[in-house]
Structure 1
Amino acid sequence: ITGTGFSTVAAENVFAVGGLMGTVTSATATTLVVNCPIAMAGDYSGTVRVVGKGLATHSIPSFRYRPSVHSFTASQTSLAGGRTITITGNGFKDVRAVAARNRCTFEVLSWTASTVVAKTTACGETSGATLDVYNGDWTRSQCYATPCDIVSNSALTPIVTSLTQNGNTITIQGTFISSVEADMSVSIGATACNVVSFTGTQLTCEAAATHRAGTYPIVLNVAGYGNAYQATPSTKTYALTVTAISPTSGSLGGGQSITLTGTGFGMNYTSVTIGGLPCTVSSATDSSLVCATAPSATAGAMDVFVNVVSGFAGVHPSNLTATTQYTYDNALTPTITNIAPYAGSTAGGTILTITGTNLATTMTVSIAGVTCVQDAGQQAATTATTYYCTTGKHTTDENPVIVGATPAN
């Protein structure tokens, strides 16, 4: 940048582009040499401020940032893809695609103005194919790296010749290229299969015993190369089963917390219905889930359907279903005919008498979320038609009394 009135001390000249600070590397009274800041693609105005003087009047043209590739961490990959590449540069914005020019497109994992992380995908042989980054407006990057090419060929591709499964033990044979066990990783969907032995031509790994239900691809990845080629892609299937439900029955009023055990569940992927009514899932692991029953207008045994959405990136999801039974039981359904008194002190301490049917000391009673507590005497006096408890402290208001039954089974 040429002009007049600059400080001869580089640090006393402040250069910015679009509000982003650059670095002044050398200065004279008439010339500044600067490094521009990292920025997303676009047009920006530039400013120079001299400490003790203020902003310079200038005719600096706007700076146009375009995407540029300066370096990347891997220039070769397996024909089966699967190698992660970190690309550094400038001007990246809303990155839409990374590609080996005119050959294949890679999976974009993340991006910033100066860094793009992508994973190579399966494609044909490439040689002399420039690595390109495409911004959201499809502006293609200029490459300043040496070399700028991505190479992919059979010599860089590990090959699986056979894959067998014995329960959760998976044995893979083939040409692995690398002879280092630490370079080997096996995944089943997004879950690692723990490598337990490696001879150079044979690898054995142990898969997780439990997993969200579905069919998932088994992929061998070799560090420095990428995924191994398989003539016939291999998969592992995890079943959806329900082996137990507890309790097996409850009130028609709903609100019963039930636990289902089995295999193949998963939080955020599992839904439960009982007789067509939703049972709201509050927690779930691969082998257990808890849900709360909904009120039912009808008593009797009803089918419990557990539905799991199965799928993995690149694999079309499917719905898997397992069933068991739950009974809405009139005998376990409290009915309330009267509550006395209807009002009490906000300080609590009011003895509440509830009359009705199917009442028991195992019930829980709350008023606006505050528990109405039973002492030993009130528990002894409670019958199937009369329930006693003492209210807790609460602010003044009119609130519903919630009665929940907990069946013995």
Structure 2
Amino acid sequence: ITINGDGFDQSTKVVLDSLVYDSSNSQITFDSFKFITLANTGQHNLSMFTSGREVEYMTSLTYEFSEAKNPQITSISISEIEQESNLTILGINFGVEPSEIDLKIGTQICRTIDLQSTTITCTIPGLESGSHIVTLNVRTIGDSNEFNERITGKATVKSIVPNSGSTNGGTIVKIQGNGFTVGSSVVLGQAICLVKNVKINEIECETQANSAQLVDVSVMTSGVEHSSVGVNYTFDEDKTPTISSVDPVQENFSSSLLTLIGEKFSNDKNEVHVQIDGSECSVIESSLTQITCLLGEHGAGTYQIELKIDSVGYANKDFNFGYNLNIHHLSSNEASLAGGLHLQINGSGFSGQSHVTICDNECVLLNFTSSQIFCLVPLANSQSLTPNVFGLWPNRGGTGGGTILTITGQNFIPDSSKVEIAHTNCQIITINSTSIVCRTGPLPSSSTKSLVEVYVDQIGNAINEEHFFEYIDLWSSKYTWGGMELPGEGDVVVISENQAVYFDTHTPILKGVLIIGGALIFDDMQDVHLQCEYIIIM
């Protein structure tokens, strides 16, 4: 039933006789209220409420439950289903619109293909094993009477396609019948057929290796064996692809092609698949006796060659192919004594099991493919290349950045160097081989003291074990005060939690300094003078 109006919401409910329909069993929008009636008899007033108040009606709302309008099933053309079937249902009050018919046998929908007021013709793909009730709903009229007779689903196997394939397995077969579920299992002779997909009337599965012979097809569902009289499958030597040789047997630089020689292959390259330990060898050409494919990348080692032809299955699996471990090129053959260079190694046969050592020290793996490795160079011994930091000035500056820092040292390289302090870039202003001048960037976190890190491309990190820069808020820096003027006469200064302010100047008379969990540090290398009426530490 649909009631049209406006102003409905999720609190709206309908009372029909003593039955209540609300948001738990109805569909409610602003202008419509839809619900499905429960069984009842007679004529009844219908009341509607929103937020506890009765809705105003433009017309009287009554509803009649009439037995004369009940859809009724009197007979069904078949009582057993063992495959996809058409059914004819006789009765009355079926209506004339096929889209309004909801007909089910058990859990399976019987799709309406023809409708008269007294006849329904429908098709059902199959039915679970056992006895099932029939339910009918005509959406504009309601549910039918309960049909006393039950429809029985029979567990059957009617056919298998294809009905023969390779003795090595790998053939995808489709078994037609009835009563299949996700719990169904398939055995061909003594060999399990791995179930891939299931419909009520069809199972798709992949055969496993078995000796050449004709075998029975056995399907079990929930402990019930499906009848399969006359349905057999042949593991056939004549349909088993056979590899007799491969060339080459090991990876080489002259060619990246692999050739398989044998018999019972396929002229259709699209159904031919070659893999070596999961790495696809892309098929270029295929005939009944020869297959040529383009090798994919793979880690070093010797692995089994797997050939599968869709229409028949797997070939024999007694040939292997070897991938070599090769290094073709290094992005750099020199590095800093301090290490830190990101080294790129080009070659083949790399994998997650690869280990790189330089001068007996591990080059830590950063990333890899089968043809590239990126690793972090360890300490090396090429002293002449190594950048060094000898000194810096000043050694402290504000967390807001902007401090001009001079770094002295050796082996700096213009256009190839960068400076970081506490993972924050120091923008280079000028650079030569012995000096770098840079401007510190803003530190996103609180005050910290950190080594100055100089990195030179293709070389690595500069040696620096003792030269630190301290990020600290200088009283004399406007960046400490958010870019505003320094605190003036009569101001109150607040130093908050996680903030350290380095006092390095002279002040006028302040009203006060309030330290809430922070720190005020006085420069003891010069004369400083803090004047204020009070200091409060909390």
Quick check: TM above 0.5? yes
> Is structure 2 residue 211 aligned with structure 1 residue 124?
yes
Aligned-pair distance for 1:83?
2.4
Using the aligned pairs only, state the percent identity. 16
Counterpart of 2:345 in structure 1 is: 260
2:383, 2:176 → 1: CA distance? 62
CA distance in 1, matches of 2:187, 2:346: 46
Report what 2:320 is aligned to. Answer: 235
Alignment of 1:10-409 (within 5 A): 10-15=98-103, 22-27=110-115, 32=120, 34-36=122-124, 48-56=136-144, 58=146, 72-87=160-175, 91-93=180-182, 98-100=186-188, 102-108=189-195, 110-111=196-197, 113=199, 117-130=204-217, 132=219, 142=226, 148-165=231-248, 172-176=260-264, 180=267, 182=269, 185=272, 187-189=274-276, 190=278, 191-192=280-281, 194-196=283-285, 198=287, 202-203=289-290, 205-208=292-295, 210-222=297-309, 224-229=311-316, 233-248=318-333, 256-266=341-351, 269-270=352-353, 272=355, 279-284=364-369, 286-292=370-376, 299-300=379-380, 331-332=386-387, 340-344=396-400, 350-353=402-405, 355=407, 360=412, 361=414, 362-365=416-419, 371-374=425-428, 378-380=429-431, 384=434, 386-389=436-439, 391=441, 397-398=445-446, 403=453, 405-409=455-459
CA contact (8 A) 1:339 1:352 kept: no
List per-residue Cα deviations over 1:52-106 (Å, max 9, x = no partner): 23445647899999987666542110112232334567643267x5431x32123
Question: In the alignment, residue 173 of structure 2 is paired with which amino acid?
Answer: I
Q: In structure 2, give the amino acid aligned to 1:216.
A: Y
CA radius of gyration, larger in: 2
Say if 1:371 and 1:206 are closer, same or farther in 2 by CA, change over 3 A.
Answer: same
Cα deviation, residue 224, structure 1: 3.3
Name the amino acid aligned to 1:151.
T
Structure 1 partner of 2:12: none
1:366–1:372 contact (8 Å) kept in structure 2: yes
User: Is the contact made by 1:41 and 1:92 (CA closer than 8 Å) also made in structure 2?
Assistant: no
Alignment RMSD, CA only?
A: 5.1
How many Å separate the matches in 1 of 2:209 and 2:156?
A: 25
Q: 1:194 to 1:242 in 2, by over 3 A?
A: same
- Unaligned 5+ runs, structure 1: 302-326
| Cα separation, 2, equivalents of 1:61 and 1:384 | 100
Q: Which amino acid aligns with 1:331?
A: T
Following the alignment from structure 1 to structure 2, what is the Cα–Cα distance between the partners of residues 52 and 123?
58
Specify whether residues 261 and 141 from structure 1 end up closer, same or farther in structure 2 by C-alpha distance, changes over 3 A only: farther
Q: Are the counterparts in 1 of residues 193 and 206 from structure 2 also a CA contact under 8 Å? A: yes
Distance 2:384 2:103 in 1: 77
Secondary structure of residue in 2 paired with 1:262: strand
Change (3 A) 1:354 1:209: same
Shift of 1:379: 2.6
Q: For 1:155, what is the secondary structure of its paired residue?
A: helix
Do the aligned residues in 1 keep the contact of 2:242 with 2:316 (CA within 8 Å)? yes
CA offset at residue 276 of structure 1? 7.6
Match for residue 470 of structure 2? Answer: none
Counterpart-to-counterpart distance in 1, 2:346 and 2:273: 29
Q: Any idea what the Cα deviations from partners look like across 1:264-308, whole Å, max 9, x if unmatched? A: 125xx4554657868343342x32122456xx7xx447xxxxxxx
Amino acid at match of 2:314: N
Q: CA deviation at 1:129?
A: 1.8
Instruction: Tell me, in whole angstroms, the C-alpha distance in 1 between the residues paired with 2:126 and 2:404.
Output: 70
SS of the residue 2:386 aligns to: helix
Within 2, Cα distance between the matches of 1:39 and 1:280?
A: 58
User: Which residue of the partner structure matches residue 24 of structure 2?
Assistant: none
Letter in 2 for 1:353: L
Flag the 1:282–1:182 CA change in 2: closer, same or farther, 3 A: closer
Change (3 A) 1:68 1:264: farther
Q: Distance in 2 between matches of 1:300 and 1:246?
A: 16
Contact 1:78 1:152 (8 Å CA) reproduced = yes
Tell me how far apart the structure 1 counterparts of residues 420 and 116 of structure 2 sit (CA, whole Å). 79
Give the structure-1-normalised TM-score: 0.63
Normalised by the size of structure 2, how large is the TM-score? 0.50
Partner in structure 2 of residue 317 of structure 1 = none
Q: How far has the Cα of 1:142 moved from its partner?
A: 3.2
**Runs of at least 5 residues in structure 2 that lack an aligned partner in the other structure:** 1-71, 75-91, 460-538
Distance in 1, matches of 2:108 and 2:410, equals 72
